[in-house]
Structure 1
């Protein structure tokens, strides 16, 4: 039975577009809508002003070598707040749900309790992600101000990792109820086909790299380990989806881009998961990693790096392995080799990967945990 709760779902972009925040808004909206009586989208907000500010950012980078984080600017935040206040006028909601929306709510005037959800915070991303690095000092200060005001507006805060939650508690003034709730897979259940994975040296073993940034997602390590496994005599192939790497190999398939809004692309993506034995993604920077939830849904163990919030998405010995942040390609090759050589351990890892998805790494679980948090106060 759905809870008698009415939520205003606030985002600047269209939350029903699976490309918005990589489909996270879409899945959050569906998860909440499946569990409460009313979820109304307050957005999207017209983007013409954002596009103009994006041009300014490119100009400053060209002439001064520094960027301006226009998405967390005071001016943009003020404009967003006025739009949202207009859209909320005359409507009754129990809560405002604001995912990754510090800019949208920082200057918002409302008496409706705000649930603020994000995978990180600006201060944590500054100089961790390239997008938030090498900014003007005034832009850093402005962005932190927006983040702080957004957090202070909230009655409830939720993050998918201990990494993100701890940073906010230590670096931002915060009186809200705060809870770690893992995110889920951004593929609807009807497209997920699960059959316990098995592995054998007698058959080809497929490594799947799935990411839009070859370098940030650790592509160089993936390729080095792939070559090392071939040199050791293993019959392995590598599928790269989401980007175009700077190298080619006759046992390597490259799929530059798939759009989850297109049914044929979504089906092809699920086919890639079904054919894979490992999701191999040793990211250098990652807030959480939705793709690890998706791999778990198909029973695919993930091999990754212990950085950012990945430790809450990939649990050692349960749905894969997070190697030490300083591990090189030799260490990853050894981990893969150990699992390839131990067929029984691999099968158990596949089963426990799927169980973790069913128990925690899905959006229905996320929504129920959000609702449970609201019921504590």
Structure 2
């Protein structure tokens, strides 16, 4: 079977969507499919100027933001261009990860499998870059997303949070919606050591977005524990906040495509005791899948799709979105006083990875969907 993989970047590029696109491509090959890259449609310079002009006039008239990624005029142009492009490909299935706009008006006999980690409608006023849109832009966004979902033979989401929304909000047939959780985008050892140094505790903050992932909240929580005399350390990897403390180590950036830096990331996961990312908004944090593979309990927020990868009281702790530094410090203090609970969380994290938070499982589940198309 030939699967057309719709992507803005070559499928071999490991940076695309933090490596998630490559992992899906890799799994499709492992499953035995012939995978063909279908490049995302491009717009002319003249069209891009028209798009910017529409956004500018909307801002001027309504004094509100405009979703320039999803609007009807652009969607119709994209659909026609994609229809023409598809004539150059002989494929049995068209796999569309994340692209809503280009598929809303697409007319094709090729079955389309859509995938995303959230519905765009869920992100409105949830993610900062989906905030401030005018009411007409929001209506347009939801209208196009509903069309894309209805046109798809199947829609795959990485959490029930997203899957249930597609069904409940848009009325999409539940039989056409599947939840398949993502895996780790880095190699995971076959076995791990659960007996780590109990004399000091390293809390890993692995993230690029310091603000949305609420790194300062993590720092303030650990500072409370440090002042109480607990031997805690904070390891920040992926961003460079202005923090100076002898118990905090900052590594601004590590490239997964660089073998030496890749091994450094692995070593940090192996040596840390917790992954502590009290995120404000998230769909599917891949770092949480990677933490599970390395047996790291996760301390985070019960928001978005986080609970698909961190089960409160099983492989970590999820606090409410309103929780403050003192609340996180209290929860962590309970864990530090209960090493048997920490070990249980660690073992459960690895069990969760082996069961479903891995790409082999994703590939198998995807193949089940393909078989249902025949």
Taking structure 1 as the reference length, the TM-score comes to: 0.89
Deviations 1:141-175 (A, max 9, x none): 22222211111110111111111111111221424
Deviations 1:282-331 (A, max 9, x none): 11111121110011111111111111111111112332121233322222
1: distance between equivalents of 2:254 and 2:56? 30
Matched, 1:187 2:190: no
Residue aligned with 1:18, SS: coil
Residue aligned with 2:33, SS: strand
C-alpha displacement of 1:56 = 6.6
2: distance between equivalents of 1:36 and 1:106? 29
Query: For structure 2, which runs of at least 5 residues remain unmatched after alignment?
Result: none
Q: Which residue of 2 aligns with 1:143?
A: 141
Q: Which residue of 2 aligns with 1:72?
A: 70
C-alpha distance 20-66 of structure 1, shift in aligned 2 (>3 A): farther
1: distance between equivalents of 2:116 and 2:72? 19
Q: Which residue of 2 aligns with 1:28?
A: 24
The answer (yes or no) to whether the contact 2:51–2:68 under 8 Å persists in 1 is yes
2: distance between equivalents of 1:80 and 1:108? 8
Q: Which residue of 1 aligns with 2:267?
A: 271
Residue aligned with 1:157, SS: strand
1: distance between equivalents of 2:137 and 2:358? 36
Q: Which residue of 2 aligns with 1:198?
A: 195
Aligned match for 1:348, one of 339, 344, 349: 344
Deviations 1:10-68 (A, max 9, x none): 12344432222222211111122211321211115447769868977997899887433
2: distance between equivalents of 1:123 and 1:87? 29
Residue aligned with 1:294, SS: helix
The answer (yes or no) to whether the contact 2:2–2:33 under 8 Å persists in 1 is yes
Higher deviation after alignment, 276-285 or 341-350: 341-350
2: distance between equivalents of 1:200 and 1:341? 15
Query: For structure 1, which runs of at least 5 residues remain unmatched after alignment?
Result: none
The answer (yes or no) to whether the contact 1:9–1:39 under 8 Å persists in 2 is yes
2: distance between equivalents of 1:264 and 1:54? 43
C-alpha displacement of 1:360 = 0.4
Q: Which residue of 2 aligns with 1:178?
A: 177
C-alpha distance 145-299 of structure 1, shift in aligned 2 (>3 A): same
The answer (yes or no) to whether the contact 2:114–2:149 under 8 Å persists in 1 is yes
1: distance between equivalents of 2:65 and 2:239? 24
Q: Which residue of 1 aligns with 2:325?
A: 329
2: distance between equivalents of 1:269 and 1:61? 45
1: distance between equivalents of 2:17 and 2:57? 25
Matched, 1:106 2:104: yes
C-alpha distance 51-239 of structure 1, shift in aligned 2 (>3 A): farther
Residue aligned with 2:106, SS: coil
C-alpha displacement of 1:199 = 4.3
C-alpha distance 68-147 of structure 1, shift in aligned 2 (>3 A): same
2: distance between equivalents of 1:59 and 1:269? 43
Aligned match for 1:221, one of 200, 217, 220: 217
C-alpha displacement of 1:86 = 3.5
Residue aligned with 2:204, SS: strand
2: distance between equivalents of 1:248 and 1:115? 48
Taking structure 2 as the reference length, the TM-score comes to: 0.89
Residue aligned with 1:72, SS: coil
Q: Which residue of 2 aligns with 1:119?
A: 117
Aligned match for 2:36, one of 37, 40, 51: 40
The answer (yes or no) to whether the contact 2:59–2:65 under 8 Å persists in 1 is no
2: distance between equivalents of 1:45 and 1:194? 44
C-alpha displacement of 1:266 = 2.2
Q: Which residue of 2 aligns with 1:8?
A: 4
2: distance between equivalents of 1:132 and 1:358? 34
C-alpha distance 24-65 of structure 1, shift in aligned 2 (>3 A): farther
C-alpha displacement of 1:353 = 1.0
